Amino acid sequence: MDNLTQLFVEAGTLMLAGMVFVFAFLGILIIFINKVLLKLAIKFPDPIIQSKPQRKTNKTNVEKGGISPPVVAAISSAVSQYRQQHSKNK
Amino acid sequence: MESLHILWMSTGLANFELGQVIMMLVGCLLLFLAIAKNFEPLLLLPMGFGAILTNIPVAGFSEVGGLLHYIYYAGIDTGIFPLLIFMGVGAMTDFGALIANPKTLFLGAAAQFGIFATLFGAIALNAIPGFEFTLKDASAIAIIGGADGPTAIFLASKLAPELLGAIAVAAYSYMALVPIIQPPIMRALTTEDERKIEMAQLRHVTKIEKVIFPLGVLLMTIFFLPAATPLVGMFCLGNLMKECGVVDRLSSTAQNELINIVTIFLGLGVGSKLSAEAFLNVETLGILALGAVAFSIGTASGVLMAKFMNKVSKEKVNPLIGAAGVSAVPMAARVANKVGLESNPHNFLLMHAMGPNVAGVLGSAVAAGILLALVG
């Protein structure tokens, strides 16, 4: 029984020391990442790979299958005009 | 007539003992789990086959002069195989998620409580007649909670080689059972709202950070815990080969051909320890039970730590990612992601969970180093 108690005491000490050490070790690693690696990342950023400039195209929205801005403006104006007239008639 | 008798006595049928038959069935069970259930098949298959080979009567696979005997002593007794596997794991590990969110290292640290709490459990089992675990045995058993196969085999081969077979079987079986063991614990310890938490997107990690990181980890291990340098050193070597970008061939070999070859021999070597006299005893049952306890406590402490961090931290932390702190890369991270998706189908936690997941690998290697330094 004494032997078992002794083993429990040793296991408890081991648990306490082990958990404190694991947290301390990984805590220092957090400091290392925040203080050293982050500064290195700011000082030496990854080189930006220049992508090939795309050819300028003069395609309008109409050509892409959309609606050109002047047409949208004309429709919006017509809709608001209609709504105004409609509300007055009421 | 006498020659017929000699011939009969040289057959397996005449020499089989009940224990050997049972251990062959255990080997077949491992093969079944590997092939039919896909439970860690890369290791359980050679391990199961090794168990069958080592229990063949007369053949003497595990006796001096036998193949498995030499495989065990060349690769496992010396610690070479687990360390080579660790190098390969390092070459496959991306620390990007961890570097982008370094506080997840605390989750990896908290999950190691499973290891140290199981130490208590192993010692407590000594109160039951039939169990006589020393502190070395208890430490080797407790490392199952690290959910890291190579670390468990490395430590068991150093501290309690006679328990290696049972410890390896327990470690790999429970690693395969992570998707079954973890979710109920995760759900029990978190609320629906906590599981829905969406985390901020991780920042971009530069190449120089990834190259310097393994060197920094190694330097810290050299300063503070040289006993862990075999494990951490090989892990960092593999990771540096991957990240530096100038030795792609070596990196590719470490994470493919080399790790595959070593896995075959590691499995066979561990299987050679699955003999009837070493495995068929009440202590094996204790080890299997303690392994489950270790996994559960590790998962729970990771989740509770993540809950605590969510309370005190400015940025939100989904407590589910804490469960990934038990190592078991990448299975535990996938489980965290899956459980998170059940509560919030738009919440992908995989990358966030990879941080504590790789932190768990480092944490369990550090814990193994501590146990080696204090008990070994």
When CB atoms are compared, the residue of B103, B116, B126 closest to A19 is B116
Specify the pLDDT at position A86: 74
Which residue from A minimizes the CA distance to B209? A37
What six digits make up the tokens of B244? 């530096």
- Quote the pLDDT of residue A1: 65
- Set of chain A residues whose Cβ sits within 8 Å of the Cβ of B106: 23, 26-27, 30
pLDDT bucket at A61, cuts 50 / 70 / 90? low
pLDDT tens per residue, range B55-87: 999 888 999 999 999 999 999 999 999 999 999
Of A12, A19, A26, the CB nearest to B113: A19
CA distance B323 to B59: 45
Question: Nearest CA to B168 among B85, B266, B74?
Answer: B266
Neighbours of B9 (CB within 10 A): 10
- Residue reference for tokens 């005009």: A81
Is residue B208 within 8 A of residue A41, CB to CB? The reply is yes
Mean pLDDT (whole number) for B132-159:
93
Please provide the average confidence, as pLDDT, over all residues in chain B.
94
What residues in A contact B205, CB-CB < 8 Å? Answer: 41
What is the distance between the alpha carbons of residues B21 and B57, in angstroms, rounded to a whole number?
Answer: 10
C-alpha A27, offset from chain centre: 25
Are the beta carbons of B107 and B321 closer than 8 angstroms? yes
Interface residues of chain A, partner chain B, Cβ below 8 Å: 4, 7-8, 10-12, 14-15, 17-19, 21-23, 25-30, 32-34, 36-38, 40-41, 44-46
Interatomic CA distance for residues B134 and A90, integer angstroms? 95
HEC string of A7-64? HHHHHHHHHHHHHHHHHHHHHHHHHHHHHHHHHHHHHCCCCCCCCCCCCCCCCCCCCC
Residue located via tokens 């061939």:
B249
| Chain B nearest CA to A37, separation (Å) | 5
Q: What letter does residue B57 receive in the DSSP assignment?
A: T
Q: Which one-letter DSSP state was computed for residue B72?
A: I
Confidence tier at B333 by pLDDT (50, 70, 90):
very high
CA distance linking residue B85 with residue B42, whole number of Å: 12
Confidence bin at A2 (pLDDT 50/70/90): confident
Yes or no, beta carbons of A25 and B204 under 8 Å apart: no
HSE-up of residue A58 (Cα within 13 Å, Cβ side): 0
CA distances from B228 to B36, B65, B160, B376 (A): 37, 33, 17, 12
Identify from B132, B206, B232 which residue to disrupt to test chain A contact, counting A C-beta atoms within 10 A and taking the largest count. B206
The amino acid sitting at B308 is: F
Residue A57 has a pLDDT of 54
ipTM of the complex: 0.91
CA distance B104 to B317: 9
